[in-house]
Amino acid sequence: MNRILPQIDFGLKHLLERRSDAPPPNTGSSGVRKASWKKDTRSRVVAQARYDHLTRGRRAQLCVDDVSVSFDGFRALDELTLILDQGELRCIIGPNGAGKTTLMDVITGKTRPDSGSVFLVGDTTDLTHLSEHEIARRGICRKFQRPSVFQSHSVLENLELALPVGRGVFQSLFARLSSEQRSAIEQILEIIGLKEEREKRAGLLSHGQKQWLEIGMLLAQKPRVLLVDEPVAGMTHHEAERTAEILVGLAGTHTVVVVEHDMEFVRSIAQTVTVLHEGRVLVEGPMHAVQNDPRVIEVYLGVD
Ligand code: ADP
Ligand code: MG
């Protein structure tokens, strides 16, 4: 604890400087809300200090710290701590029920944990206190298995609609975009390999192409962290290979988390792999080390 005390001071100063952290008005004479504000602020300061401590010396982007989630007394996540570095492609694997989906739900604000914190680098806000919408606005984007593209609009229009500005303006033409926006879209079309299909209606794309388009739509929002849930489910072998190329291509410039059951796919993209088991990190490291780890073999026995 002594080692993190200087960070607590730093965190306290930082937090008290922020107007949103000022005590709420009308605390009145009851002092109850005042006390709860104090407690809340103290726990946030401690959480921030831990974040500083955990991420020191790393190029961290996201820190999940000591998160627990229970469902009817069953611990789906059990004091889970996970740090993602900027620009890394992290695969999260683990047998069914390991807590992978619950972890994604906590990071995106769909599930509020019983305890623990989530921080983005450079932001003192504990994301577990925010709504899903507020978290998305801070740049954490999640791609679900089922693609949700606008079927009756072209590939280009879909990407255009995904841009942070101009969203919802169906009439806007590509020509009306700024040159910066146009080149961002061109770049995305290149990344997702849909240059030739730019005028095609999204509804006419193959399953794989729709998935890539949706990845493109998330990229258009310039995410700080991109969470991708089982990207190759339902894909052909060729489509899965192409998806691997796209995700590997994003690493370096994007922080990407892939949750996937398909071990062959994980092997084809994996840099650092985190294996979850019973709501905890069982093993973390490079794929070759992880797949030969006896603990991993044991929990995966019969699965792969
Ligand atoms: P994974 O995605 O790794 O298969 P999950 O995060 O979906 O695992 O689930 C972890 C554990 O939590 C499982 O045992 C699951 O049954 C349980 N669980 C998940 N969501 C709920 C829920 N909403 N209510 C009750 N139990 C849940
Ligand atoms: Mg799941």
By the 10 Å C-beta count (0-12 exposed, 13-18 middle, 19+ buried), 10 is classed as middle
Closest C-alpha to ligand 1, atom 25: 71
Which residue bears the tokens 């009145």? 28
Neighbours of ion ligand 2 (CB under 5 A): 100-101
Atom of ligand 1 nearest to the CA of 99: 6
Distance 95 CA to ligand 1 centre (A): 11
Q: Which helix (H) or strand (E) holds 162?
A: helix 155-162
Q: How far does the centroid of ligand 1 lie from the alpha carbon of residue 73, in Å?
A: 12
Question: Is 98 near ligand 1, meaning CB less than 6 Å away?
Answer: yes
| Distance from the Cα of residue 302 to its chain's centroid | 29
Q: What is the pLDDT of residues 8-52, one digit of tens each?
A: 333 333 333 333 344 444 444 455 556 666 666 767 777 777 777
**pTM over 0.75, yes/no:** yes
What gap in Å lies between CA 182 and CA 192, rounded to an integer?
Answer: 15
End-to-end C-alpha distance for the chain, whole angstroms = 42
Each residue's pLDDT tens digit, 109-167: 999 999 999 999 888 899 999 999 999 999 999 988 777 899 999 999 999 988 876 44
Of 55, 120, 100, which Cα lies nearest the Cα of 273? Answer: 100
* CATH number at 58-300: 3.40.50.300
Average of pLDDT values for 79-101?
A: 94
> φ, ψ for residue 68 (rounded to 5)?
-125, 140
Strands annotated E in 123-215: 140-143
